[in-house]
Amino acid sequence: MLKQRGRIVLGWVATVGMVSACGGGPVQEAPKKTADKEAAAPGDYRPDGIIARSLPEISAALRAGETTSEELTQAYLDRIDAIDRAGPTLQAVLTINPHALDDAKALDEAFAKGEIVGPLHGVPILLKDNIESADPMATTAGSFALMENVTGRDSPLVAGLREQGAIILGKTNLTQWANFRSSDSMSGWSSLGGQVRNPHILDRNPCGSSSGSGVAAAASLAAGTVGTETNGSIICPSNVNGIVGFKPTVGLVPQDLIVPISSSQDTAGPMTKTVSGAAMMLTAMAKGGTGIDYSARLSENALQGVRVGVMRFATGSNHDIHMAFDTSLAIMDEAGAELIEIDSFDGPETDKFWDKALTVLEYEFKATLNAYLANAAPAVVSRTLVDVIAFNDDNAGEELTLFGQDTMVSSEARGDLTDTEYLEALRDVQTATRQNGIDKLLAQYRVDVLVAPSGPVAPRVDPINGDVWPDWAGAGYLAAVAGYPHLTIPMGTIDGIPVGLSFMGASGEDAQVLSYGFAFEQASNARVEPQYLPTAEAQPDIAAAMARKDR
Backbone angles phi, psi at 295, to 5 degrees: -65, -40
Residue among 233, 270, 232 nearest 252 (CA): 270
Q: Which of 69, 213, 233, 454 is labelled catalytic?
A: 233
* Gap between the Cα atoms of 227 and 283, Å rounded: 15
Contacts of 76 (CB under 8 A, 6+ apart): 51, 124, 169, 221, 222, 223
DSSP 204: B
Contacts of 241 (CB under 8 A, 6+ apart): 198, 199, 200, 206, 207, 214, 215, 217, 218, 498, 530
Please report the sign of the dihedral spanned by the C-alpha atoms of residue 118, residue 121, residue 127, residue 132: positive
C-beta of residue 325 within 8 angstroms of C-beta of residue 524: no
- Written as one string, the DSSP assignment of 381-421 is ---SHHHHHHHHHHTHHHHSSS---HHHHHHHTS--TT-HH
Q: Is 113 a catalytic residue?
A: no
Backbone angles phi, psi at 371, to 5 degrees: -65, -40
* Gap between the Cα atoms of 372 and 487, Å rounded: 28
- The angle that helices 275-285 and 510-524 make with each other, rounded to 10 degrees, is 160
For residue 315, give the amino acid letter: T
Q: Which of 191, 209, 262, 328 is labelled catalytic?
A: 209
* Gap between the Cα atoms of 415 and 418, Å rounded: 8
What is the number of H-type helices and E-type strands within the chain?
Answer: 18, 15
Q: Residue 487: left (phi > 0), alpha (psi -120 to 50), or beta?
A: beta
Q: Is 233 a catalytic residue?
A: yes
Cis omega (within 30 of 0) on the bond before 209?
yes
* Gap between the Cα atoms of 202 and 92, Å rounded: 12
Q: Which of 128, 247, 287, 366 is labelled catalytic?
A: 128
Q: Residue 262: left (phi > 0), alpha (psi -120 to 50), or beta?
A: beta
Q: Is 171 a catalytic residue?
A: no
* Gap between the Cα atoms of 51 and 43, Å rounded: 18
Annotated catalytic residues are: 128, 209, 233
